[in-house]
Amino acid sequence: MTPAIYAVWVICLATGWCLMEALAPSSGSSPRWIGALRQLALGALVGPGLASLGFFAMILAGITASAKFWTMLLVLLVASAALLLRLRGRRLRERPFPRPLPVRFPGRWAIAFAAAAGLGLFVWHFWVTLQSEPTGGWDARGFWNLRAAYLARGDGLWQLALRQNAGGLPTDPFHPSYPLFLSGFVALQWVLSPGLDPVVPAATALVFCLACFLLLFTSLAETKSIVLGLLGGSVLMDFRILPKAAADQLSDIPLALALLASVVLLDQAACVHVRPAETQSDSRLRYRWIAAGLVLGLAPWIKNEGWPFVLATGAAVYWRFGRGAIRWLAAGAVPGLLGTLTVKLLGDGVEFFIPRTIGDVLAKTFDPHRWWQILVGFGSRVIQAGHPWAHPVLLLAGLAVVLRLAPPPDRRARVWLCAPVLTLMISYFGAYLVTQFDLAWHIETSANRFILQVWPSLLWLSFSMLRAPEDAFTEAVSKPEIPCEVTKHGPAKVDLLGADGQISKIATDIVN
């Protein structure tokens, strides 16, 4: 790693942080360091995303000089910082969401220690796996990093990454229709540093993976509780294929991060949208939808699987929040969608798995054996996702039983976020159903990665539907079933059912 690569990362993280802090500041109901870390995790997606889009646009324009790429990065940083300064000055002081009283969970330090130790072990596992395959997995060598190397050639021959022919000669590409988020960002770092250092894509993969943990932890800590955030991060690290997938330098982890970030920001925008008018301003709400759209638009720029997620999210937002919300969401998604559509228009790619005839599609769709094979394939991958004695699903179920579900209003407010994730899973199912490849081989080589893409989002949705562990110690404040009020004199005034009123009196006296 050269100083230039560190500089690229610092600029990109700062750009993403400023942009997210400007458009989607944290709610103010959690400690400041949690909000800052959340913005950093979001910035780890947004900064590289915008940098890769800018890099691709410049390559298309025939620009290959390193100095101009540095200029592009600095312009992005300055523009983001200027936006932050402008919006921060005008921003209303946001009223925190109603939350239970801050009660320290007994032994919180032990859970924090376990999560930190787990993170250390995870990074060690990643490092050891990387030593065996320093150039990444099959997919990384076959197209992600290969196309990055082509984009970093220095002669602007971008056709090598996207077309069957470049310079009048064949290219024999793999998956030329795949978008260029990861390849573009790795290529940008390679262009700005000497040689094609294999550490660059490895470090990039690790940063995206760590950002995924960080975003899950901080967003749950912000909306629920720190302990629940720590537990969410631990359960995510428990996912068996994650270190191998990170060391393989695949695009599935950035996509998982983009889906998770979309869900988090959509939830935040929706929360502000439904709050009383006197606590919000139109401009602030608009920026939150733009932030969600910006992250959402990066999903198809990372992988084609982002398309169904984007379309389903657009439909869900329109259905639930109307035209105003979808307009700003779409405005935010413009950069990512524009870059992706450009790749589709310029590239020669037609995915090989798509059948050629309608008859073939229908025959495969109505074959019950294929349905069963896909269900068994997905099921077995989910079972293999963890050790039987510490399977992530079992850990989640244990927590759900003990912590209990969140109050119905909380759950109802978030249930619509399940629609895009479920649509994405259904689209996976449909792709397997009609694939031209051997179905067993296709499931064997890709089902794990599909589960990996949606797993952080599913975890976030599941954890957000639970009560916080601290609630077991503060239910006194929020339990609505027993009508009560706390008088200004201190003692609780109780409306108990005792016919003679004695119980109420006793209770009041005892509390006194």
Partner 1 sequence: MPATVAAKSLTKENSAKAAQHSNGINSLCREGRRRTTTASFFIVIHHTSGKFHGPVIDKVLEGILGPIMEALGSPRQWAVILVCWGVAALALLAIGFRRASGDGAAADPFGTKEEQVRFAPVLKHFPPQSTLGIITDLRRNFDDTPLMEIRFVLAPRQAFVVEPNRAKPEWAIGVFRDPVDPIAAGAALGYEVIETFETGLVLYHHHPQ
Q: How many CA atoms lie within 13 A of 330 on its CB side?
A: 13
CB of 259 to partner 1, least distance (A): 22
Count of Cβ atoms closer than 10 Å to residue 68 Cβ = 12
End-to-end CA distance of the chain: 65
Map the footprint of partner 1 across residues 374-393, applying CB under 8 A.
386-387, 389-390, 392
CB of 149 to partner 1, least distance (A): 4
Place of tokens 């228009």: 345
Cβ within 8 Å of residue 206, ≥6 positions away = 123, 126, 246
Nearer to partner 1, 88 or 479 (CB): 479
Cβ within 8 Å of residue 437, ≥6 positions away = 352, 353
Nearer to partner 1, 225 or 262 (CB): 225
Nearer to partner 1, 27 or 171 (CB): 171
Q: Which positions from 395 to 424 touch partner 1 by CB under 8 A, shown as an x/- string?
A: x--xx-xxx---------------------
CB of 473 to partner 1, least distance (A): 6
Distances (CA, A) of 143 to 149, 154, 172, 471: 10, 18, 11, 48
Q: Is residue 510 part of the contact set for partner 1 (CB under 8 A)?
A: yes
Map the footprint of partner 1 across residues 96-115, applying CB under 8 A.
101, 105-107, 110-111, 114-115
Nearer to partner 1, 361 or 394 (CB): 394
Q: DSSP secondary-structure letter at 91?
A: P
Q: Which member of 238, 252, 267, 305 binds partner 1 (CB under 8 A)? A: 238
CB of 200 to partner 1, least distance (A): 14
Helices (H), 199-305: 199-223, 226-237, 242-247, 252-273, 282-302
355 and 349 Cβ atoms separated by less than 8 Å: no
Closest Cα to residue 268, out of 39, 504, 13? 39
Map the footprint of partner 1 across residues 239-298, applying CB under 8 A.
240-241, 243-244, 247
CB of 263 to partner 1, least distance (A): 22
CB of 251 to partner 1, least distance (A): 16
Give me the count of residues in the chain. 512
Helix, strand, or coil (residue 192): coil
The encoded tokens of residue 331 equal 């405005």
Q: Which positions from 461 to 500 touch partner 1 by CB under 8 A, shown as an x/- string?
A: --------x--xx-xxx-x--x-x-x-----x-x-xxxxx
Q: Which member of 214, 230, 317, 461 binds partner 1 (CB under 8 A)? A: 230
Q: What is the DSSP string of 93-139?
A: PPPPPP-----PPTTHHHHHHHHHHHHHHHHHHHHHHHHH-TT--HH
Nearer to partner 1, 55 or 122 (CB): 122
Question: What does the alpha-carbon distance between residue 403 and residue 398 come to, in Å, rounded to a whole number?
Answer: 8
Q: Which member of 57, 94, 142, 342 binds partner 1 (CB under 8 A)? A: 142
Question: What does the alpha-carbon distance between residue 144 and residue 464 come to, in Å, rounded to a whole number?
Answer: 34
Q: DSSP secondary-structure letter at 405?
A: B
Q: How many residues bind partner 1 (CB under 8 A)?
A: 90
Q: Is residue 456 part of the contact set for partner 1 (CB under 8 A)?
A: no
CB of 342 to partner 1, least distance (A): 22
CB of 125 to partner 1, least distance (A): 4
* Torsion over CA: 244, 250, 254, 260 (sign): negative
The encoded tokens of residue 375 equal 């269900």
Place of tokens 């039987």: 388
CB of 214 to partner 1, least distance (A): 16
From 143-151, 208-216, 406-414, 419-427, span contacting partner 1 (CB under 8 A): 143-151
Nearer to partner 1, 289 or 463 (CB): 463
Q: Is residue 344 part of the contact set for partner 1 (CB under 8 A)?
A: no
303 and 252 Cβ atoms separated by less than 8 Å: yes
Nearer to partner 1, 335 or 469 (CB): 469
Q: How many CA atoms lie within 13 A of 128 on its CB side?
A: 6
Map the footprint of partner 1 across residues 111-140, applying CB under 8 A.
111, 114-115, 117-118, 121-122, 124-125, 128-129, 132-135, 138
Q: Is residue 65 part of the contact set for partner 1 (CB under 8 A)?
A: no
Q: Is residue 506 part of the contact set for partner 1 (CB under 8 A)?
A: yes
Q: How many CA atoms lie within 13 A of 357 on its CB side?
A: 3
Nearer to partner 1, 282 or 500 (CB): 500
CB of 116 to partner 1, least distance (A): 10
Map the footprint of partner 1 across residues 151-210, applying CB under 8 A.
152-155, 157, 160, 166-172, 174, 196
CB of 323 to partner 1, least distance (A): 43
Q: DSSP secondary-structure letter at 437?
A: S
User: At 46, which amino acid appears?
Assistant: V
